[in-house]
Amino acid sequence: MNARVDPQLLSQLGNHHLDALEEETIFLLREVAASFERPALLFSGGKDSLVMLHCAEKAFGRGQLPFPLLMIDTGHNFPEVTQFRDQRAQELGAELIVRSVEDSMARGSVRLARPDEPRNAHQSVTLLEAIEEHRFDALIGGARRDEEKARAKERIFSHRDGFGQWQPKAQRPELWQLFNTRIAPGEHFRVFPISNWTELDVWQYIEREAIALPSLYYSHPRAVVERRGLLVPVTPLTPAREGEQVQTRAVRFRTLGDITCTCPVDSPAASAAEVVLETLSCEVSERGATRMDDKTSDASMEKRKKDGYF
Amino acid sequence: MPALRFITCGSVDDGKSTLIGRLLVDSRAVLADQLAGVSRTGEADLAQLTDGLAAEREQGITIDVAWRYFATPARKFIIGDAPGHEQYTRNMVTAASQADCAIVLVDATKLDWQQSQPALLAQTRRHALLAQLLRVPSLVFAVNKLDAVADPVLAFKHIRAALLQFTQDAGIAVAAVVPISALKGWNVAEPRPGWCGHDGPSLLQLLEQLPCTPADAQLPLALPVQWVEKTAAASADTQRGRRVFWGRVAAGSVAPGAQVQVFPSGQRAQVAQVLDHARRPVDAVRAATGASAGIVLDREVDVSRGDWLVAAALAPQADAADDWDSPAPATNSPWPGQRELQATIAWLDDEPLAPGRVYWALHGHRWVKARVRRVVHRLNIHTLAQESAEQLEANAIGLVELLLQEPIPASAFARARVPGSLILVDTASHRTAGAVLVR
């Protein structure tokens, strides 16, 4: 959920809370680096992972990341994002590990029901395979508690069993700043250093720190069709259906993921400052406006997390 | 004003989730699609805004802490929606350990309010005691569902009297007792002057004014070393060749020139440079309690994760210099090492605390083995009496004697939060089993 305030209140609230959020995130990133043998940072090229990466640079110094970046590629990415991801990793001198859902399909560990179905849910399989392959014991992710109800319930240090499963009823209490990171072989942790950030915080921070993002986050003309209240981008993977009218509209993405289930919103916002203002007056949540795959059931995110999803 | 972290607690069905839903809706923090998602029968079910797990919706209870965010013109808020069910007290303890304020909800319809001092529910007492134990700075009682009783004025008067008597007996400071109806929104965000004989601020107005947790800033320096940076030589923003010791200042503050000693080795050094959390040098301003800092020392000393940097021991007094019986330097330390502790424990694991068993203890960033020697007493949460006990079951609170494998610079929790707190972890299951507060 967004912490919304009236635009005129923005100046009163200021952004000194961003310092506190940044400091907490950096503290958590150092805790992961110090507590685990083989951590990795999940990096998609999206805004949340770019904010985390920016904090990681501050935590460890330029070119000194103590963990590799891991990308689980659905094969359904916007090319602008993939390009941006590779460019950032190179600039940082970071090790980038890419594992793809299509490889899992070739191995037979992922079976699609239909060829064009969203592959977000199948990322879990590929992710768990990558964890096993590299023996990762902690994966840092950019999930925020304001995104979704099940996420709001998850600890910052989230224990996963040997099957990568989250057990919401048996979460470890998180007391003070004492993080119980002990694990048995085969288990791992998911760690969410920006848990306490909201969508608005992320945008205010992007603006303040002048963090570069893939261009899709800002207003651009795009061919879309309206479907069930969402704007569906017209791409080779998501063609217009019969009877649908293709229109070109000024849109931007609030969240970026698998092409087949990520939708843009109408927006003239062309800079981080304009997105901040738009976020302040927004009436629909980030996921509500943009994700087709979360709408299937109230518990879909929880179910996927139990199955090993981020 | 900094963001206020508060938790809501109380018994099952006291209306915690409804109250949070109400605060979110009335402060416009709920977006259209989220409200539509819980409004299938016409009227919004406010509790469903926060109960995010399928098992919670099935059973109509809150299992785990949900963290929520909202803001008013005056302040940003972070809410920990803690479960009320006794089975999940550990999660309430988790939430309370981070909170600046605890709101304990009291369901007026569950009490015999016609009596002048109705008996309170066990969970009301337990949560108020836990909040006090964890040094949550402000405790607020919100007497809920007063729209549903026949005589709300009398009900609030009697329940308030019972709450004040209980807290006085227990030595608990109360910031306020507020009458509300979370369902109707009465006196939650909007004040309802005179209702239930209450002319004070609404619950939200009260929260806007409450202080955040005060830091233990007046104490001598204590900094648990979180991360030792070995690559400082390659970094332009730190002094060449020196390692940087990163950590959060647990007590006191640190500035260049400070004399420190390493715990446990006792080696002394001077602070050559202090970096802030983002590696910028701190010169004029001291890094204060709560802040992450990077410390560069003036000489090479052996420091690892888990060690502490503490204010150097006081120089021996001049007239004591000839005294052969003067204590060893370590006892002069403002943070002397201890191997034997008396501590209050909130037991969180389903497997009871067993005297004689060895657990892992985490203090700062150091793991040590810990044996529980004996349970001194268990607290009866109904009578507040100290009872003898052989073990502590899940959700029990008691006083124990701990023996540690090696000394730690522990201090009373009432004096300093970070040096005064530990967790115990089961060596077999790795579950977090106990919240330990040093006496």
Mean per-residue pLDDT for A235-243? 88
Mean per-residue pLDDT for B255-268? 94
pLDDT band, very low/low/confident/very high, at B327 (cuts 50, 70, 90): very low
Q: Where are the alpha helices (DSSP H) in B27-151?
A: 32-36, 54-59, 89-96, 122-133
**From A5, A13, A168, residue closest to B63, measured CB to CB:** A168
pLDDT band, very low/low/confident/very high, at A134 (cuts 50, 70, 90): very high
At B225 the pLDDT is 98
Kindly list the residues from chain A whose CB atom is less than 8 angstroms away from the CB atom of residue B29.
1-4
Chain A residue with the nearest C-alpha to that of B279 = A58
**From B63, B97, B305, residue closest to A176, measured CB to CB:** B97
Mean per-residue pLDDT for A4-21? 64
Distance from A38 to chain B by nearest Cα, in Å? Answer: 15
Contact A27, B226 (CB under 8 A): yes
Q: Do A171 and B64 touch (CB under 8 A)?
A: yes
**From A4, A23, A285, residue closest to B28, measured CB to CB:** A4
At A2 the pLDDT is 38
Mean per-residue pLDDT for A195-222? 94
Distance from B170 to chain A by nearest Cα, in Å? Answer: 24
Of the given ranges (A70-74, A150-154, A279-283, B64-68), which has the lowest mean pLDDT? B64-68
- Whether residue B419 is predicted with pLDDT greater than 90 in this model: the reply is yes
pLDDT band, very low/low/confident/very high, at A63 (cuts 50, 70, 90): confident
Encode pLDDT of B275-300 as tens digits: 999 999 887 667 788 889 999 999 99
Q: Do A61 and B423 touch (CB under 8 A)?
A: no
Chain B residue with the nearest C-alpha to that of A306 = B53
Of the given ranges (A87-96, A248-257, B378-387), which has the lowest mean pLDDT? B378-387
At B63 the pLDDT is 56
More confident residue, A128 or B49: A128
Q: Do B73 and A302 touch (CB under 8 A)?
A: no
Which 3 state secondary structure label does DSSP give A157? strand
Distance from B108 to chain A by nearest Cα, in Å? Answer: 28
Mean per-residue pLDDT for B373-389? 87
More confident residue, A227 or B425: B425
Q: Where are the alpha helices (DSSP H) in A61-154?
A: 79-92, 101-107, 123-134, 149-152
Pairing, β A69-73 against β A96-100: parallel
- Whether residue B328 is predicted with pLDDT greater than 50 in this model: the reply is no
Distance from B163 to chain A by nearest Cα, in Å? Answer: 27
More confident residue, B231 or B177: B177
Q: Do A282 and B53 touch (CB under 8 A)?
A: no
Chain A residue with the nearest C-alpha to that of B72 = A5
Kindly list the residues from chain B whose CB atom is less than 8 angstroms away from the CB atom of residue A152.
50, 52, 66-68
More confident residue, B26 or B349: B349
- Top mean-pLDDT range of B14-23, B106-115, B331-340: B106-115
At B42 the pLDDT is 45
Average pLDDT of chain B?
A: 85
β-partners of residue A100 are A73
pTM attached to this predicted model: 0.87
Average pLDDT of chain A?
A: 85
> How many Å apart are CA B273 and CA B294, to the nearest integer?
8
What percentage of residues in chain B have a pLDDT greater than 90? 56
At A13 the pLDDT is 52
**From A1, A27, A151, residue closest to B69, measured CB to CB:** A1
Neighbours of A122 (CB within 10 A): 22
- Whether residue A295 is predicted with pLDDT greater than 50 in this model: the reply is no
At B122 the pLDDT is 84
At A298 the pLDDT is 47
Q: Do A175 and B54 touch (CB under 8 A)?
A: no
Encode pLDDT of A249-281 as tens digits: 999 999 887 788 788 999 999 999 999 988 887
At A296 the pLDDT is 43
Please identify which residue in the block is written with the tokens 């330990």. Answer: B436
Angle at B243 between CA B304 and CA A32, to 5 degrees: 55
Neighbours of A3 (CB within 10 A): 25
- Whether residue A4 is predicted with pLDDT greater than 60 in this model: the reply is no
A268 Cβ contact partners less than 8 Å away, ≥ 6 residues apart: A219, A250, A274
pLDDT band, very low/low/confident/very high, at A27 (cuts 50, 70, 90): very high
Contact B339, B438 (CB under 8 A): no
Distance from A221 to chain B by nearest Cα, in Å? Answer: 26
More confident residue, B252 or A106: B252
More confident residue, A295 or B216: B216
Kindly list the residues from chain A whose CB atom is less than 8 angstroms away from the CB atom of residue B227.
30-31, 33-34
Distance from A286 to chain B by nearest Cα, in Å? Answer: 10
pLDDT band, very low/low/confident/very high, at B429 (cuts 50, 70, 90): very high
Kindly list the residues from chain B whose CB atom is less than 8 angstroms away from the CB atom of residue A17.
2-3, 76
At A15 the pLDDT is 66
- Whether residue B322 is predicted with pLDDT greater than 50 in this model: the reply is no
Determine if residue A308 is left, alpha or beta; phi over 0 gives left, psi from -120 to 50 gives alpha, anything else beta. Answer: left
How does DSSP classify residue A173?
P
Q: Do B53 and A168 touch (CB under 8 A)?
A: yes
What percentage of residues in chain A have a pLDDT greater than 70? 86
At A267 the pLDDT is 93
Q: Do B67 and A20 touch (CB under 8 A)?
A: no
Of the given ranges (A99-108, A160-169, A292-301, B308-317), which has the lowest mean pLDDT? A292-301
At B72 the pLDDT is 84
- Whether residue B414 is predicted with pLDDT greater than 80 in this model: the reply is yes
β-partners of residue B362 are B367, B423
Neighbours of B205 (CB within 10 A): 17
At B298 the pLDDT is 93
Contact B276, B293 (CB under 8 A): yes
